[in-house]
Structure 1
Amino acid sequence: MIQFYNITDRQNQEYLEAIEVYKASTSENQQISPETIDEKMDSGNLVIILGKQNVMPVFVAMLWKLEGTSFMVNEVVAIIPSFQHLDFGKMYFDVLKHSDYYQNNHILFEAEDPDFGNKEERKAKLDYYFLHGCQWVKGVKTVVPMPNSEEFVNTVLLLLTKDRFINISQEELSIMLKKLYKELYNTPEDAYLIKELLKEIPKIIELSGTWG
């Protein structure tokens, strides 16, 4: 049986277990340092969701609340390799949809862009997000820098929201992206990357439950 735990501070055993799951299931060049996670948790903007099978910690997700917005970013999902055959994706989406985080926020996911890398594999991953209610923010391209290298991953934005008629303006999306890069990737808003990303944001923001 899988049980999920919400972690909002460092003063419990589950926090330490979540860090161990993250380290054991994430490659070194992609790992956020434990010290950085500590700082994020102490800021009050980070929520960790830990999944245990019986008493064994096997799944962790990290959600970051963008300051002053109605957006949370799904920053991390990690699963112990020997448990990756279980459908934690479905379980995680079920947990999110019954949480206050979903009720009070729009949840952002950065998914690999099918226009780069293995197109079919990346499109299949997007279809999985769509199956569980996510919508693609059309025309918006982003990149996720690796924490410990010069490498990056080309990504697109997906949105999980209970608001069926959500309307996001170009200005609101621009502010959200600047906050995302500043708070998660320490990238100032006057950086060349940010300027290039903002230039490409469409005037009218459309959401779609399919790719293409």
Structure 2
Amino acid sequence: MFRLLLLAAAVSTGFAAGVGPEASLRAVEARLDRDGTNSEYSIGSFIPVTDGDGTLLARAFELLPSGYVIVTADDALPPVIAYSYEGSLTGPEGGFGIIDLARLDLGRRMDLLESTPEETIERNRALWSACTGGRPFTLEPLTQWPPEGTTPTGGWLWENWTQGSPYNAYCPMDNIAGARSVAGCPAVAMGMIVDNLETAMSVYFTDADDYYH
């Protein structure tokens, strides 16, 4: 039994390895280098992303003047799990944001790590090796963005509305939180669509279409 426990521990240890702060920082630098933004953004402090037991899942680095890069804390996972050069780690008024979503996502990934295909883990470790070794990423060319300068937002949206001010100016006050309620995400999304089309296409709504969100 003792030998079996030792073998299980050895397999588990070899399966995944924790990533230290220095390697995490290099992963952020590699992300900026790859995007050609290292002269526009500097790297600030990081926030540990932990699960309910206090296990480190990732480090969320703040970028200056804006943005963030979330780096995983295990080399069996891809180095950068989320990043933005404009967004915030938290939602409006400190609510649920990308850092909370990353916590849920990475917690689930760690739970399923033992069933992750070995080739996937080796590919992730190769990415980590490229980051920490100063070599460029060997990923497919980025194709998720439209050609530079073709849209006002830099993405696929022509508008970039949010759930906060001024778009929630007519929302009711939350007397418990002492702040104005955020605008509903379906309403914001539909408002952006109508604003872009500049027509409602003869569609109208009644009380039968009320949507509680």
What interval of TM-score do these two structures reach, taking the shorter chain for normalisation? under 0.3
Question: Comparing both structures, which one devotes a greater share of its residues to strand?
Answer: 1
What TM-score do you get using the length of structure 1 for normalisation?
Answer: 0.26
What TM-score do you get using the length of structure 2 for normalisation?
Answer: 0.26
Greater radius of gyration (CA): 2
Considering Cα pairs closer than 8 Å and 6+ residues apart, tell me whether 1 or 2 has the greater RCO: 1
